[in-house]
A = this chain, B = another copy of it.
Amino acid sequence: MYQTFYRDQTQFYVAVDCIIFGFSEGRLSLLLLKRNMEPAKGQWSLPGGFIEAQESAEVAAARVLSTLTGLDEVYMDQLMLFSKIDRDPGERVLSVAFYALINVADSNREQVRLHNAYWRDLDDLPALIFDHPEMVHSALKRLRIEASTKPIGFNLLPERFTVPQLQALYEAIYGISIDKRNFRKKLQSMPFLVKLDEKDKTSSKRGAYLYSFDKERYEKAKLEGIHFAL
């Protein structure tokens, strides 16, 4: 019945592009592909692809990321739609950008390699095609805002992490250095950080205590009007 109402309207190709920030050894990197298809073959780009008929943008983003890089179950947030007329020099294409911050573990490092994808240091990115630089810039801006109000850092670190690791993450996100005593003080005021009895000795002889993030307690604290900011 409705199907005919819109028929005079223009239709558009709509793509998704994924801005995946990775954290490893105190540094942020960005997951990029070396395009092996036209347009822009051989150039660097974000993992991206077209939305299909029966997909929401969110579903498409997950599929595209998984297909192109082998990464599954990455929780991405939508950034926004990019729609400048000439953003794709080939043809008119709109693109929804999604972003996420994940831990670059050995497991996914391999995944990624097998797919012609690479983790490139965020401070030393190659030239990117189209408006991808703008997308990355916006995503980083958004990431910083998110990181200061949501425990985005906790989602991304391995399940058990140390305070120095967490601090390094925040330092990487904001590009600043933080006083470790003050940083710990703030952490102590967060009841959803659970100190474990074990230590991680991979980065020092003494070892650093492992912590875990108690999601339930976090949700509870949030309901009661959380005071979160790192």
Contact = CB atoms under 8 A, between A and B. Distances in A.
Contacts of A145: 145
A198 interface: no
Nearest to A38: B5
Contacts of A38: 2, 5
A80 interface: yes
Interface stretch (A48-56, A66-74, A109-117, A215-223): A48-56
A93 interface: yes
A53 B83 contact: no
Contact of A6 (B3, B13, B57): B13
B91 A5 contact: yes
Interface in A73-99: 78-81, 83-85, 89-94, 96
A50 B6 contact: yes
Contact of A93 (B6, B78, B93, B96): B6
A91 B4 CA distance: 9
Given A90-B2, A90-B6, A81 B53 contact: no
B51 A3 contact: no
A10 interface: yes
A80 B14 CA distance: 14
A5 B90 contact: yes
Given A11-B12, A12-B51, A51-B12, A6 B94 contact: no
Contacts of A11: 11-14
A39 interface: yes
A204 interface: no
A13 B5 contact: no
Given A2-B38, A14-B14, A78-B81, 12 more contacts: A2-B89, A3-B90, A3-B91, A5-B39, A6-B50, A9-B50, A11-B12, A11-B13, A53-B92, A54-B85, A55-B85, A57-B81
